[in-house]
Chain A
C-alpha cells in the first residue's frame, strides 16, 4: 500500500470545489461539518481498503462509513452514510457506520448546527463514495487488463461491459489500495439514477435503540469511574460564600465534596449517592445582584426598547400588534452530562456534544494541553436542539476529574438542566402595517427586541417572504443576566412567528382570505408551492364543524421552504388540536423518512411552544424545574400530523429548523379563525386573547 497516493487537505478542498468553508448564516451559531479533509488514514487492518478517512471496504464486502457529525436525532449517521453508499454503489444492508472521535487535524471542524449536516456534506461525501468506487473499478480493470472506462458497477460488484464478468468489491480491496486516488473527472450519479438517495431508509441505530444497547453520554461507564453532581448557584449571578459538607459526607456512598468553578461537586460511588449527598449539603450563597429580576420586569425592559415604527404611507389603513415570547429551555430528554478522565499529560472524554472539536479546544485550553492530547469520544446525543452547542457540562467533568484525579461522570439532574440552560431568549415583537383601499399592503414595520442580545439595531432586511414596499425590520436587544443560546430555528422562533401572526392580521385588515393574501404576495415560487400544497391538503376553504378554525403560515430559511395548516377548536375552555398539515420543500430529500421525522418533530416543538412551554424568571432564578411544570406535548394532546414532501431535484436544504417557525403562527391564526380573537402572548392562554 506504500504507493497509495495521499490527498492533501489543500487538494481535497480543490477537489470538492471549495465548499469546505463554514457557512455563516447570521444566526447565533452556524456550524457546518463541511470543513473536512480527505487524507490517508492509518493503514487498514488485513486487506481492507480505506482510501480516505470516511470509508473502508472489507474483504467480505462490508462497507464502514465514518460519521464525523454528531447525531442528536437528526439522523446524520443514516443520511451521511447513504450519500457514500449511493456513489460507491453498494447495497445498503452491507453498510455500517462508526462515529469519529473529535479530531480537527484529520476531519476539520466537527459540529452540528444551523441545519447544516446533510446539506454541507452532500457534495463531499458523494465524491468520497465516487472516488472509492473509481479505485475499485481501476483495480478490476487492472486484473482483467481492460480499460476502466468499459466497466460498470452494481450492488458492490464491478461488471464487465457485457455483464458476463463480475467481481465483488471485497475481492478487489488489496489491488484497489494500490491504485492512485483520482483527483479529477470524478463523475457523480445523476439524480434519476439514485438507488439510495431519496429512498426512505430507517435509522441505522434503530436496532440498538429498541433493545437498549444504544449508548448515550449518560450510559458511559469506564473502569474506576465515580459519579458527581454539582450544587449550582440558586440565582443568576449568585456566588459561593461557604459550605458545610459534614452531613453530605455522612451519606453512604459519598466519596468527596469539592469546590469547582460551577459550584460544589459531590462525588459518589454511584449517581444516587451523589444526588443524596448534594441534598445534605449546606451552602451559604451570596445571592448576587439579580434577585429582583423577574419575567414581568424583563418584558417591561423589552417593551421599553421598542422605538418608533417606520413611517406608513399617508391615507393608508394601518394596524399594529405586539407579541410577547417567553424564555424557553431546550430540555433535551437526556440531561447534560459528560465523562472525563484527566491525567497530567492527557485527557480522555466521552460526551454527546454538538461541537466536538470546539470542546477539545476548550478543554485543551483549560488544561494547558496540546489538542492532540485531548481525546473526545462522541456518543449519541439524547437530543440537541442547540443546547449541546455549548460544552459547559464537559468542562464540569474535566474540572472534577482534575481535582479528584479519577475518571468521573458528571450528571446534571433535570432540575440542574432546566434551571441552568442557555435559554431561547425572551422577546417582544412590535409590528405595524398598512393596506391601501384595494387591500394591497403598502407598509410593514417590524421590531423584535430580544433579551440577551445587546444592541439598538436599525431598520434593515425585513426577513419577510412577501413583496411589501418599504418593509423593514429592526432587531434590538436588551442585555439581561439570563444566559441565552441557539434554540431550534434561533431568531426565527421570534421574528418569523411574529411575521406570520401579523400577516394574518394584515390580511384581515385588507378584507382578504389569509391564504389568498399570502399567495398573492409571495415572491419565491418554491415557497408559494408549499403554501398552496398545504392549503390543498388541508382542504382550505372547505366547511368545518362549528367552533373549528384553520390557520395557515409559511417559512423559508436554512435553504428550505415550509408551510403549515393547523386545525383546532375550543372545547370546554380548552384548545383541542385536530390536525397538522406540514409541507416542506427541502430540495432533494436525501432520506425522506428522516425529512418526515424532522417535520413531525418541529411541528411538535411548534405546538408545545405555542400552547404550553415557557420558562419564567422569578427572584433572579428559573421557576420551572422539571417536566411537571415545563409543559411539553404528550401523546394525548397531539393532533394527527401529516407531512408532505415536495419532490425536487434542487440541492438539499436544511431540515432541523425549517419545520418550526410556521407552526406557532398557524396555531395562533387558527385560534383567530375559531374564536375571532388574536394572540398577543406565547404560550397562548385563552383568557389572554384580545
Chain B
C-alpha cells in the first residue's frame, strides 16, 4: 500500500492503495465517485471511460500508480451544474434506457468534441466505437452528439 495524490475533477485527493489498483476502483470504492461504471475490467466496453488530461481513457486499465500529476475528469466533474452541451443533449434526446453505460458514452463524446468540435459520422463512430450500450441506444447517441456539436441544445 502506498499513498497517492491524484487530481480528480480539479481537486487533489489522497488515496491509500496498492500500486496496481485501477483508477476505476479508486474512484468508485475509495473516493465514492460511482458515476464511472464497471462493465468489463479489460478495457473492452467503455463503461468506465474518464478523461485523463482531456483524453478519453478506460479507467479500469489505468493503475493508480501511473497517474502522477495527470488530471482526471469523471462524469461528476464534466460540468458544474450538469449543463454540459452533451448532458443537455442526452436529456433532450432521451438517450438513456437503463443508463448504466451512459456516463462512459458521454465522456467519450466529450473527449471527441473537445478535439474535434464538428465530427463526421465516421469520426463519431470511431470515437465511440468502443462503448457498448447493451440497451441499444445508439441511434439516439448519434443524434445527441450531433445536436451538441451543432450547438442545438436548449
Q: Mark B119-154, 1 if CB is under 8 A from A, else 0.
A: 000001110111111111111111000000000000
Question: What residue in chain A is nearest B145 (Cβ atoms)?
Answer: A635
Count of A-B contacts judged by CB separation below 8 Å: 196
With A219-B34, A597-B137 known as contacts, the answer to whether A382 contacts B106 (CB < 8 A) is no
Q: Looking at the complex, which one of A221, A227, A252, A331 makes contact with B18 (CB distance below 8 Å)?
A: A252
- A73 partner residues in chain B, CB cutoff 8 A: 96-99, 135
With A211-B35, A382-B37, A383-B98 known as contacts, the answer to whether A600 contacts B139 (CB < 8 A) is yes
Q: How far is the CA of A633 from the CA of B131 in the complex (A)?
A: 10
Interface size grouping (class) on chain B:
35 or more
With A211-B82, A604-B136 known as contacts, the answer to whether A206 contacts B96 (CB < 8 A) is yes
Cβ–Cβ contact B87 & A210, under 8 A? yes
A487 shortest CB reach to chain B, Å: 12
A378 shortest CB reach to chain B, Å: 14
Cβ–Cβ contact A333 & B136, under 8 A? no
Cβ–Cβ contact A212 & B134, under 8 A? no
A435 near B: Cβ within 8 Å? no
Question: What residue in chain B is nearest A601 (Cβ atoms)?
Answer: B136
- B128 partner residues in chain A, CB cutoff 8 A: 635
A190 shortest CB reach to chain B, Å: 27
Q: How far is the CA of A384 from the CA of B36 in the complex (A)?
A: 20
Q: How far is the CA of A213 from the CA of B36 in the complex (A)?
A: 10
- B76 partner residues in chain A, CB cutoff 8 A: 211-213
A681 near B: Cβ within 8 Å? no
Cβ–Cβ contact A632 & B132, under 8 A? yes
B33 shortest CB reach to chain A, Å: 7
Cβ–Cβ contact B47 & A333, under 8 A? yes
With A210-B91, A333-B47, A632-B132 known as contacts, the answer to whether A638 contacts B98 (CB < 8 A) is no
Interface centre among A71, A203, A272 (most CB of B within 10 A): A272
Q: How far is the CA of A423 from the CA of B127 in the complex (A)?
A: 32
Question: What residue in chain A is nearest B86 (Cβ atoms)?
Answer: A210
Cβ–Cβ contact B92 & A600, under 8 A? no
How many residues on the A side are at the interface (Cβ–Cβ under 8 A)?
65
Q: How far is the CA of A9 from the CA of B149 in the complex (A)?
A: 53
**By DSSP majority rule, is chain B's interface helix, strand, loop, or mixed?**
loop
A104 shortest CB reach to chain B, Å: 25
Question: What residue in chain B is nearest A253 (Cβ atoms)?
Answer: B18
With A270-B25, A271-B29, A632-B132 known as contacts, the answer to whether A210 contacts B106 (CB < 8 A) is yes
Q: Mark A232-268, 1 if CB is under 8 A from B, else 0.
A: 0000000000000000000011000000000000000
Question: What residue in chain A is nearest B100 (Cβ atoms)?
Answer: A382
A677 near B: Cβ within 8 Å? no
Q: Looking at the complex, which one of A72, A215, A600 makes contact with B136 (CB distance below 8 Å)?
A: A600
Cβ–Cβ contact B142 & A635, under 8 A? yes
Q: How far is the CA of A602 from the CA of B76 in the complex (A)?
A: 30
Cβ–Cβ contact A333 & B133, under 8 A? yes
Cβ–Cβ contact A206 & B135, under 8 A? no
Cβ–Cβ contact B99 & A380, under 8 A? yes
A151 shortest CB reach to chain B, Å: 36
A75 near B: Cβ within 8 Å? yes
Q: How far is the CA of A206 from the CA of B106 in the complex (A)?
A: 13
Question: What residue in chain A is nearest B105 (Cβ atoms)?
Answer: A635
Give the 4 A-B residue pairs with the shortest CB-CB distance, closest first: A212-B35, A604-B136, A73-B98, A382-B100
**Could you write out 21 A-B pairs with CB less than 8 Å apart?**
A202-B94, A209-B90, A209-B103, A212-B76, A216-B100, A218-B38, A252-B1, A276-B18, A332-B100, A333-B101, A333-B132, A414-B45, A600-B139, A601-B136, A601-B137, A627-B39, A628-B44, A634-B130, A634-B132, A635-B125, A635-B138
Seed contacts A216-B100, A597-B137; 8 additional CB < 8 Å A-B pairs: A210-B102, A218-B38, A221-B34, A333-B45, A411-B38, A600-B136, A600-B138, A628-B40
